[in-house]
Amino acid sequence: MIEWLMLALFFLLLIAGVPIAICIGSAAMVTMMMVLEPLPALTTVAQRMAGGINSFPLLAIPLFVLAGNIMSRGGMAGRLITFARCFMAGLPGGLAIVNVVACTLFGAVSGSAIAATTAIGGVMVPAMEKDRYSPAFGAALTATAATTGLLIPPSNILIIYAVASGGVSIAALFIAGYLPGLLLALCLMLVAVTYAHRRGTTGGDITVDLPSKRRALVEAGPSLLLIVVIIGGIVGGAFTATEAGAIAVFYAWALSSLVYRELPQVALPELLLRSAMTSATVMILVGTSIAMSWFLAFQDIPATVADSLLSLSDNPLLLLLLINLVLLLVGSVMDMTPAVMIFTPIFLPVATQLGMSPLHFGIMMVLNLSIGLCTPPVGSVLFVSCAVAKTSVQKMIKPLLPLYVAMLTALLLVTYVPSLSEALPRALGLFE
Of 102-116, 193-207, 211-225, 311-325, where does mean pLDDT reach its minimum?
A: 193-207
* C-beta atoms surrounding 111 within 10 Å: 29
Per-residue pLDDT of 356-403, as tens digits, reads 999 999 999 999 999 988 887 777 888 888 888 888 888 888 889 999
0.85 cut: is pTM over it? yes
pLDDT at 21 over 80: yes
* C-beta atoms surrounding 239 within 10 Å: 15
**How buried is residue 377: exposed, middle or buried, by Cβ count under 10 Å (0-12/13-18/19+)?**
exposed
Region 223-235: mean pLDDT is: 82
**How buried is residue 38: exposed, middle or buried, by Cβ count under 10 Å (0-12/13-18/19+)?**
exposed
Residue of 132 and 342 predicted with greater confidence:
342
Please tell me the predicted confidence (pLDDT) of residue 17. 81
Please tell me the predicted confidence (pLDDT) of residue 133. 82
d(CA 251, CA 273) in angstroms, rounded, equals: 19
Per-residue pLDDT of 313-323, as tens digits, reads 878 899 999 99
pLDDT at 96 over 80: yes
Please tell me the predicted confidence (pLDDT) of residue 167. 80
CB–CB of 249/63 below 8 Å?
yes
Per-residue pLDDT of 344-355, as tens digits, reads 988 999 999 889
pLDDT at 205 over 70: no
d(CA 423, CA 404) in angstroms, rounded, equals: 26
d(CA 393, CA 398) in angstroms, rounded, equals: 10
Please tell me the predicted confidence (pLDDT) of residue 369. 93
Alpha carbon distances (Å) from 241 to 158, 171, 366: 11, 8, 18
Per-residue pLDDT of 158-169, as tens digits, reads 999 999 988 888
Average predicted confidence (pLDDT) for the chain: 86
Q: Where are the domains of the chain?
A: 76-207+291-427
Alpha carbon distances (Å) from 342 to 36, 299, 384: 21, 14, 25
For residue 406, name the pLDDT band (cuts at 50, 70, 90): very high
User: Helix and strand tally (H, E) in the chain?
Assistant: 21, 0
CB–CB of 348/357 below 8 Å?
no
pLDDT at 203 over 60: no
d(CA 403, CA 393) in angstroms, rounded, equals: 14
CB–CB of 140/399 below 8 Å?
yes
**How buried is residue 33: exposed, middle or buried, by Cβ count under 10 Å (0-12/13-18/19+)?**
middle
CB–CB of 123/81 below 8 Å?
yes
DSSP category for residue 167: S
In 236-260, alpha helices (H): 241-254
For residue 233, name the pLDDT band (cuts at 50, 70, 90): confident
Please tell me the predicted confidence (pLDDT) of residue 360. 96
Residue of 107 and 144 predicted with greater confidence:
144
CB–CB of 76/225 below 8 Å?
no
The helix-helix angle for 2-15 and 268-298 (nearest 10°) equals 150
Percent of the chain's residues with pLDDT above 90: 24
Alpha carbon distances (Å) from 305 to 7, 102, 310, 323: 14, 41, 8, 11
For residue 407, name the pLDDT band (cuts at 50, 70, 90): very high
For residue 206, name the pLDDT band (cuts at 50, 70, 90): low
CB–CB of 95/192 below 8 Å?
no
DSSP category for residue 152: S
Region 50-60: mean pLDDT is: 85
> Which residue, 194, 187, 128, 117, is CA-closest to 150?
117
Per-residue pLDDT of 168-184, as tens digits, reads 888 899 999 999 999 99
Region 239-253: mean pLDDT is: 88
For residue 134, name the pLDDT band (cuts at 50, 70, 90): confident
Region 309-332: mean pLDDT is: 88
Tell me which long-range contacts 195-200 makes (C-beta under 8 A, separation of at least 24). 195/93, 195/96, 195/133, 195/137, 195/399, 195/402, 196/92, 196/93, 196/94, 196/96, 196/133, 197/92, 197/93, 199/132, 199/133, 200/132
Q: What is residue 264's three-state secondary structure?
A: coil
- Count the alpha carbons within 13 Å of 417 in the hemisphere toward its beta carbon: 12
Region 402-421: mean pLDDT is: 95
CB–CB of 110/219 below 8 Å?
no
Please tell me the predicted confidence (pLDDT) of residue 207. 59
Please tell me the predicted confidence (pLDDT) of residue 318. 92
User: What amino acid occupies position 411?
Assistant: L
DSSP category for residue 154: S
pLDDT at 312 over 90: no
* C-beta atoms surrounding 160 within 10 Å: 28
pLDDT at 201 over 80: no
Contacts of 240 (CB under 8 A, 6+ apart): 56, 57, 60, 170, 234
Q: What is residue 309's three-state secondary structure?
A: helix
Reported in sequence order, the residue ranges of 30-164 that DSSP labels E, i.e. its strands, are none
